[in-house]
Amino acid sequence: MSNLNIFEIPPDDDGMRLDRWLRKKFGRVPQAQVEKLSRTGQIRLDGRRVRASTRLESGQVIRVPSFETGTKDHSREKQYHHDLQDLKLIREAEIYRDDDIIVINKPQGIAVQGGSKVQRHIDGLMGALSKPGEERPKLVHRLDRDTSGVLVLARNSFSARALAKAFREREIEKTYWAIVLNTPRPPKGEIDLPLHKRGEFGKEKIVSGTGRRAITRYVVIDNAGQDVAWMALYPETGRTHQIRVHCSAIGSPIIGDRKYGARLVTPEGLPSGNRLHLHSRAITLEHPRKGLLALKAEPPDFMLDTMRYFGFERNLGDLVDQPDRRKT
């Protein structure tokens, strides 16, 4: 590591931690190595010593050794078996792309991230959405495995920070569609019920009544009598399983939600009644560089079949894609 490299921090990397910037630039760099090089002054920022946790600023000049670390760390992708059908599925799911973000219509039934028992997930397929040499797209929010619809990915660190902040501070408007059992009364309202997790590890269930505040506004778009309704839902907060639990709490569980509505009978004759009928229909966000961006995703075929089965008209949904910000 006798050779030195000098770089100027670009605008897109403004605010990034030093250790994360080094991994982005050089690939697999052990944290202990970064800490040692910082501590001994071998890494300099504008000529000064820095810590591994230092936040970089655009225009600063950094001096670093030449790291001999081999290729970039793709261990997360190696954990995922890239089935050709899944690769094709994720590429076809793309509905928007520019230099900063990618938006996909996430298929129902595939997890966003992996885990000890989850081998098939969007995070493992990120490489299929980028070309060789490009920065790997980053997740900035989540959807449940069985929820389909709009999922936003960041193409660089700058947009990842901007979008993550917008989601965290509730600056992004989201619209969900759901087909539920039992038409809610009243047909338009606000569900304000706190949520908390209960149960053993791996078998947790979100329940309402205590915990962190959760707010979901809703409107009934159409209904088939008192038995089934097509709803638009606008979550003001982003708690785990929030919409599913809130719908169940008001007596209108989502069709196919075995976790929060398993005791209720699915309408007879419905071909896809065992699949969760919850879809992230639309999102409106402030683009990191280009101003307001509004996108929609078509529901999966099984959900459209259910809507046709009950005589719901698809074009009515356009009337409620943008949330009514007035209090109900």
Q: How is residue 111 annotated by DSSP?
A: B
Residue 327's pLDDT is 43
What pTM was estimated for this model as a whole? Answer: 0.74
Q: Where in the chain is the domain with CATH 3.10.290.10?
A: 4-65
Please work out, in degrees rounded to the nearest 5, the angle formed at the alpha carbon of residue 195 by the alpha carbons of 236 and 122.
Answer: 70
Residue 74's pLDDT is 42
For domain 4-65, the question of CATH label 3.10.290.10 is answered with yes
Q: What are the catalytic residues?
A: 144
Give the whole-angstrom CA distance, residue 311 versus residue 228: 11
The residue ranking higher by pLDDT, 69 or 129, is 129
Beta bridge partners of 181: 228
Share of the chain above pLDDT 90, in %: 40
Tokens in use for 279? 């879809």
Q: Where in the chain is the domain with CATH 3.30.2350.10?
A: 75-168, 173-319
Topology classification of domain 173-319: Pseudouridine synthase (3.30.2350)
Q: What is the CATH number of domain 75-168?
A: 3.30.2350.10
Give the whole-angstrom CA distance, residue 139 versus residue 151: 9
Residue 24's pLDDT is 77
Residue 105's pLDDT is 96
Per residue in 161-218, pLDDT (tens digit) is 899 889 988 899 999 999 999 999 999 999 999 998 887 555 678 888 888 899 999 9
